[in-house]
A = this chain, B = another copy of it.
Amino acid sequence: MPWDIKPDRPIYTQLIEQIQLKICSGVYPPGSRLPSVRDLAQEASVNPNTMQRALAKLEEDGLLYTNRTSGRFVTEDTDMIKQVRKRLAEKHVQDFLKKMTELGFDYNEIISIISAMIKTEEMKHE
């Protein structure tokens, strides 16, 4: 999963989301050490200040903690991580349903369209 920064929203916001995702999906396991601010910044091709800003927010949320000079680590609280994962998923579903109903699709149509697209996706990977 490479870093994917688009120009349409603040970079630090996207960094927060993507690090959050790496934690929820297990790329950064509970208790593991993250690369240094400078290394992460280089990985993502952003300024260290910008990466620092994103990390500070995640720390504020409790997903990360800092050991002054040995580095930054993912929380060991696996329940919290599961909770975040669930919250993100539900938010994605709700946002998606809102967008589709605004476009005038009813629930049956939505299920139908998504099923069709899933089948198309599955065909690609066989």
Q: Which bucket holds chain A's interface residue count?
A: 20 to 34
- Asked if A34 CB lies within 8 Å of chain B CBs, one says no
CA distance A118 to B101 in the complex (A): 11
CA distance A25 to B103 in the complex (A): 5
Interface residues of chain A: helix, strand, loop or mixed (majority): helix
A107 lies within 8 A of chain B by Cβ: yes
State whether the Cβ of A126 lies closer than 8 Å to any Cβ in chain B.
no
* B114:A111 contact, CB within 8 angstroms: yes
Asked if A117 lies at the interface with its beta carbon under 8 angstroms from chain B, I say yes
Query: Is A93 interfacial (CB 8 A cutoff)?
Result: yes
Contact of A103 among B21, B102, B107, B111 (CB under 8 A): B21
A43 within 8 A of B: no
Tell me if A2 counts as interface (CB < 8 A to partner B).
Answer: no
Inter-subunit contact B9/A102 (CB<8 Å) = no
> A92 to chain B: which residues have CB within 8 Å?
96, 99-100, 103
Q: Indicate which residue in B9, B85, B114 contacts A114 across the interface (CB closer than 8 Å).
A: B114
- Minimum CB–CB distance for A112 against chain B, Å: 11
Q: Which residues of B contact A21 (CB under 8 A)?
A: 102-103
Partner of A104, one of B13, B26, B90: B26
